[in-house]
Chain A
Amino acid sequence: MVLGLIMALMAGSLVCMQNIFNSKVSERAGSWATTVLVLGLGFLASLMIGLAFEGGRLFALHHMQSWYGFSGLIGVGVVICLVQGIRRLGPTYAVSIVLTSQLLFALLWDSLGWFGLTQVPLTFRQILGVLVIIAGVIIFKFSGERRAA
């Protein structure tokens, strides 16, 4: 429980920093050149850290299924939709919708338990919790209209 919590907080902090850095790159280099750079470096970093921890075992992909090789395309969908959403709505509206939708889909995945995840039955308390978080997101984003990310 505590490990999961710390990991989620770490991921969120790093996402914040990456958003800031990427937007600085994107301002000058364009969104696709930025995406290429970000994913290329992310790949290299994963490869090097993986090699450091696991050595040659990194390449032993025993239970590989072919769709695993294509799941990275989801990331391209993220970029297309983000760029289009922000272009049409501006960052405040777009990011509020993105964050809200992330939470709603999370609830959906947990309650369906697809992909072999532990199924968490949907309760009133969960729905209430997610709605309250969404309210917080909206208060946060719209109190700072001027700000992106």
Chain B
Amino acid sequence: MKGSLYAFLAGGFITLQGVANARISRDIGTWQTAAMTQFTGFIAALFILILVRDGHWKMFSQIRPLYLCGGALGAVIIFSNVTAIHQIGVTLSISFLLIAQLGLTFLVDSNGWFGVSKQKMDRSQFIGIAVMIAGVAILGF
């Protein structure tokens, strides 16, 4: 039960973050918003890391550099998310975002890209994405 509450709050925070970024970017600009919010988050996370001490710094050398650079994608994610919310509203933005996210996850898993262990996909995953697209069609058109 507690786990469900955490997961529910996580989803709420993710949406809130997009909405807050969209609001802030109107006043100070989108790149400024992306830089400022990630900087605040970075400082806060750094404090927590120092408190909980669960960092395994030596392990970083064993991780492929490509994976370590994933964070840089955050800049473009925030920019495109904010622009989408300005253009088509929160609900449609999140809906399209999730379809792209799960659709690409499906492709990555079935082809074993990026060193992900290759999975055999079944038809019900196609059906899941098709149902999501149907839902967006009901929403938007």
Contacts and interface: CB of A to CB of B under 8 A. Distances in A.
A12 B74 contact: no
Nearest to B133: A136
B66, B79, B91, B131 — most chain A CB neighbours (10 Å): B91
Chain A interface category by residue count: 35 or more
Contact of A102 (B3, B15, B54, B102): B15
B132 A136 contact: yes
Interface in A117-137: 117-118, 120, 125-126, 128-137
Given A94-B7, A100-B11, A143-B128, A69 B40 contact: yes
B56 A33 contact: yes
Interface of A: 1, 3-5, 7-22, 24-25, 28-33, 35-47, 49-50, 53-54, 58, 61-65, 68-82, 84-89, 93-95, 97-107, 109-110, 114-118, 120, 125-126, 128-141, 143-144, 146-147, 149
Given A68-B24, A129-B95, 6 more contacts: A8-B81, A12-B103, A50-B29, A72-B39, A94-B7, A133-B135
12 contacts: A5-B88, A30-B56, A72-B40, A74-B17, A75-B41, A76-B48, A81-B9, A105-B11, A115-B23, A128-B138, A134-B135, A147-B119
